[in-house]
Chains A and B, each alone.
Chain A
Amino acid sequence: MAGLLEPDSGNIIVDGLDLRREKPLASEKLGLVPDQSYFDPGSRAGDLLEYMASFYSQGTWDRRDLSNSLLRKVGLLEERDRRLGKFSLGMAKRFAIAASLVNSPRNIIFDEVLNGLDPAGMKMIREIILEMRKDGCSILLSTHALAELEGIADRMVVIHRGRIIGELLPEDMYAHGGNDLTVRIENPGEDTERVLTEYGKVSAVGRNFRIRDANIDAPELNAELIRRGYRVSSISRENGSLENAFLRLIEKVDQKTQS
């Protein structure tokens, strides 16, 4: 989608420009943060950013200022003269973000950018994404760390085995996410798991019981357990997680394929 590969079919339109036919113009409006560092390890961070900026309209001194400000933004200004081959994974990712922002793109692709990052790195990227979102940029973020998307994404597309199998909005999560309940019982007995099986698939860890796809709501379950003499200290509902929605979509597709 960034113009690295020739597409088998279809078009990629960036701000009305066909990436295939008008590649230079379309690429000016696009940024890419790759999943792994694809920068020349023999180049220095500052030099390479200036070189990247040379593809746009900046003059020599502007390029230097720009590279400094971008490196400062991602916390790498001190590493300006260091060769990229010496960067850690986290530093390389941060450099990749700086490189993708060289042309202040209104459209940006984050490709598995969260993989291998420490919490501080994740937080930084999250903040950058939110800031860009606030500025009205279009952001395409591909990831397997689904939990990280919650609170960021406005729209999610699920791709399974190379095909789009569903599209989710945040409000759709409950509908796709099912009704999972987690119950903590202080005085569980030998038959507690069997009793709970009446309300759904049960898995137990110590005094915590998780009922998947519960066919009963939390208040009713609470009342029923108390009636049977259990001391219930908490019941929580976990419906609406993106992960659940994703798994359910995949299950549905697989079942459909098998049948």
Chain B
Amino acid sequence: MRFYDSLRKWIKRLKAELFHQSRKRGTAVAVSLFLLLGVLLALTPSVSNVVAEHRPVLISGFYLQNDSIYLMNYLAYENGNPVGGAKISLYFSAQMIETGDNAITAANGYANYSLFFRATYLSQYEYNPVEKYSVICPGGTFNGTVDPVPVSSPNPGVVIDQIFPGGGDSVDHFLVVNFHRKSINTQVETGVLKTPNGDFYQTYNFSDPIQVISIPVAKLGCVQGFLNYGPQGYSQDSATISPSGSLQMFKDFSQESPDTFLAFMIPLSGVMAGYVVFGREVAEGTMDSVLVRPVTRREIVLTRYASGAVGLTVLYMILMTASFAVLTVRTGYYGSPLPFAIYALVSAVASSALMSLMFLISTLRLSKNMVFVAGLISAIFLIIGVSIVVSLALTASAQYSNGGYVMVKGPAVTALSILSAADPANLSNGLLPFAYYAEIPALFPSYIGNSFSVSQSILGSNLIIIAMLSAIAWVIIPVKLSISMWRRKE
């Protein structure tokens, strides 16, 4: 009964706090800013990815699962529907083809290898659906039915042609290639190759041992490349293709993912929320008007914190719902909203954790402007630090539970990239031995088949659990310190 009364009192207090915070001017400003950026996020695909009508795109993605690397390619129209009557060719360099049992012709499994994908249109009579292929990556076991077909360009190797009959929304329309990984150090690097005649290729480089990460980390789950071809029905002799030239990032046609947005918004929203619900009032001294009420410092801190966390969760839910709605309308695809909900939840937890830091800073007898600046600076450092810790925790946990392979999200990879740029030796001397990465197909999960289940399980379990655990540390310690600092003698 006592617990029930206490709970009822807390809920009543929380309701009053939420109501009060929602009517503050600072809240209006912060929410407006938040939603404005949210709208920009929702509009990003239309801004950066304007595709000409009936101009299909080659969509490539990859993910890592256990000891395999899966590459997926398909051809789609702007609205995401697969293109019928097309062929995707997969070119292997010669050294990737095994000629005997468990043999590699060159480099003994520790060299760099390249794959080239490109799509061409076929005439109707060429339709000939084939099975998926299983190809061996350096050092692995040959277990597919690849028939090596030498081609003159780019170099002697093999071409696998996947022909799509068109129509529908089936995984069968994907060219899925499965590679075994030689060791847990195998990495994938993706990029887009532009040939002198203007064609684009999606490329993947496998390397071993660990190299500096160079994947464009903030892209959507799939990297998109435009086909520089004419109308459907046109075909081109693949033998004439010469994929040479320098690799360049495909920024002009890439699609931003929520990762980029959230990497900024999580710390920023945490700082803003902490400043609005607590920091500013403490720094200004206006919180004294609350302190004379029948409430303790502890109750004030906790109820204000709870109101901020609830507010952030609601905001992220609104934001992700809006993003989901906008993208659904734009692409005509009615996918699962689950990844959006998970994104919202994880973002709310992470930003709430950062909010606690703002509470602590505001009790350090700084002016209100200094509180805000200190909050921003801390958030920047914290996001990098947390990202590294999370990526290490994820990979370490994956090594023991999932066979050593895990996808690491954007902010973590960003942090690793920053670190490696500052001191590449850190990555090569074994300090960060499990730096695997992959793009998480957040927005179009079902388009890339199996990767959906992988990303979902990681997002839905490991990430949330780790976010929760780290949030506990990031919340409890600063909040407890805030209460004791605030109780200090003035």
A28: nearest chain-B partner, CB-CB: B294
Contact in complex: A42, B295 (CB < 8 Å): no
* A38 vs B282: C-alpha distance when bound (angstroms): 11
Q: What B residues does A40 contact at CB under 8 A? A: 24, 280-281, 284, 286, 289
Contact in complex: B293, A52 (CB < 8 Å): yes
Min CB gap B21→A, angstroms? 9
Among A6, A38, A50, A103, point to the contact of B289 (Cβ < 8 A): A38
Q: What B residues does A6 contact at CB under 8 A? A: 487-489
Q: What B residues does A52 contact at CB under 8 A? A: 289, 293
Q: What A residues does B488 contact at CB under 8 A? A: 6
Contact in complex: B490, A43 (CB < 8 Å): no
Contact in complex: A51, B20 (CB < 8 Å): yes
A52: nearest chain-B partner, CB-CB: B293
* A28 vs B24: C-alpha distance when bound (angstroms): 25
Contact in complex: A38, B288 (CB < 8 Å): yes
Contact in complex: A27, B292 (CB < 8 Å): yes
Check if B2 is an interface residue, CB within 8 A of chain A. no
Those of B374-433 within 8 Å (CB) of chain A: none
Q: What A residues does B293 contact at CB under 8 A? A: 27, 52, 55
Q: Mark B311-344, 1 if CB is under 8 A from A, else 0.
A: 0000000000000000000000000000000000
Contact in complex: A24, B292 (CB < 8 Å): no
Q: What A residues does B25 contact at CB under 8 A? A: 42-43, 83
* A48 vs B281: C-alpha distance when bound (angstroms): 13
Check if A3 is an interface residue, CB within 8 A of chain B. yes
Q: Mark A16-46, 1 if CB is under 8 A from B, else 0.
A: 0000000111111011101000111111100
Interface residues of B, count at CB 8 A: 26
Size category, A interface: 20 to 34
Among A23, A39, A51, point to the contact of B296 (Cβ < 8 A): A23
Contact in complex: A24, B288 (CB < 8 Å): no
Asked, given contacts A6-B487, A6-B489, A54-B16, whether A42 binds B24 with beta carbons under 8 Å apart, the answer is yes
Min CB gap A85→B, angstroms? 8
Asked, given contacts A5-B489, A6-B489, A47-B23, whether A39 binds B289 with beta carbons under 8 Å apart, the answer is yes
Among B26, B285, B294, point to the contact of A55 (Cβ < 8 A): B294
Contact in complex: B16, A25 (CB < 8 Å): no
Check if B291 is an interface residue, CB within 8 A of chain A. yes
A56: nearest chain-B partner, CB-CB: B294
Check if A225 is an interface residue, CB within 8 A of chain B. no
Q: What A residues does B23 contact at CB under 8 A? A: 43-44, 47
Among B280, B281, B284, B295, point to the contact of A27 (Cβ < 8 A): B295
A44: nearest chain-B partner, CB-CB: B23
Asked, given contacts A40-B286, A44-B23, A47-B23, whether A2 binds B292 with beta carbons under 8 Å apart, the answer is yes
* A5 vs B291: C-alpha distance when bound (angstroms): 10
Check if A99 is an interface residue, CB within 8 A of chain B. yes
* A39 vs B285: C-alpha distance when bound (angstroms): 8
Check if A4 is an interface residue, CB within 8 A of chain B. yes
Q: Mark A233-245, 1 if CB is under 8 A from B, else 0.
A: 0000000000000
Q: What A residues does B292 contact at CB under 8 A? A: 2-4, 27, 30-32
Min CB gap A108→B, angstroms? 11
Complex A-B: 16 CB contacts under 8 Å: A2-B292, A4-B292, A24-B296, A27-B295, A31-B292, A39-B289, A40-B284, A41-B286, A43-B20, A51-B19, A51-B20, A54-B20, A55-B294, A55-B295, A56-B294, A99-B289
Interface residues of A (CB under 8 A from B): 2-6, 8, 23-28, 30-32, 34, 38-44, 47-48, 50-52, 54-56, 83, 99, 103
